[in-house]
Structure 1
Amino acid sequence: MEDKSAVTKGLKEPALAYDYFKSMVSLSVATLGGILTLGETVFGARLSPGQIIMAALPVALSGMIALQGQTDIAQVLQGVKPPLNSSKLGLKFVPSLYGLGVGIFLALLTLSYLAPGVAAKLR
């Protein structure tokens, strides 16, 4: 059996990282649902499908990376070496991508109200 600390190098608290990733998966799925629902219903006339996809894609990637990080940690704790231990890298990319997607959505929505002409050019 391989030394677990060698595989989780860079993760001071693997259990805490696992819980963080688990929360981010749930948050990403909920946010993705919100972006898609609001973008297609309430703000459907203000945002184009391309703009909605532009905002939803980073949030979806954030959730996928968080799920992969969670899977890697679970494998390590079971004594299995993951093919690609992405958990350390995921701790940096998950919040960045999540914030980027939410920021894009809010920026496009704000632009559609404050500067409709600029927002129309982005469509």
Structure 2
Amino acid sequence: MSEELPTLKSADIPAGKNEAASRAELAEPALAYDYFKSMASISVATLGGILTLGGTVFGARIAPWQMGISALAVALSGLLALQAQTDIMQLRQGVKPPLNSSRAALRLVPALFGLGLGIFLAFLLLSYFAPGVAARLR
């Protein structure tokens, strides 16, 4: 008994009324959907961690605007991942999404996630290793 997963390609999408709606821009929509689902979940967890740590443990070291910048980038990453999931589902159903952001989201989601996490860690490390500079940024 073979438990091999079927490969989903754009040819597997049913043809709808509009031929443009039946073409997916992603070679493997099932893998992209799972990726975006994971990134949306990770973004929510990371956002909770940034807000919790920035408000409690590191509240005296990180200014609210610094925490806000990093949280905004992570939140945008999660929102883009959720939007890309929606676009993939619409494509799988043969509906042309109003704004097919799935291809751009493959680049933007990890970039925004890394940017937000990097900003948070940079401000935190700056507060420890260069307290004078960090105090001026507050």
Identity of paired residues, percent?
A: 69
* CA deviation string 1:35-75 (max 9, x = no partner): 00000000000011101001111000000000000000011
Q: Which residue of 2 aligns with 1:56?
A: 71
* CA deviation string 1:4-34 (max 9, x = no partner): 652x12x110110000000000000000000
Q: Which residue of 1 aligns with 2:46?
A: 31
- Equivalences, count: 121
Detail structure 1 runs of 4+ shifted over 3 Å in the superposition: 2-5
Structure 2 runs not aligned, ≥5 long: 1-15
Task: Within 5 Å, give how 1:65-76 maps onto structure 2.
Answer: 65-76=80-91
With normalisation by structure 1, the TM-score equals: 0.95
With normalisation by structure 2, the TM-score equals: 0.85
Work out the CA distance in 2 between the residues paired with 1:98 and 1:5. 31
Work out the CA distance in 2 between the residues paired with 1:16 and 1:57. 26
Q: Which residue of 2 aligns with 1:87?
A: 102
1:57 partner amino acid: L
Structure 1 runs not aligned, ≥5 long: none
Work out the CA distance in 1 between the residues paired with 2:36 and 2:90. 14
* CA deviation string 1:60-111 (max 9, x = no partner): 0000000000000011111211101000000000000000000000000000
Q: Which residue of 2 aligns with 1:121?
A: 136
Question: 2:23 matched to 1:16?
Answer: no
Q: Larger C-alpha radius of gyration, 1 or 2?
A: 2
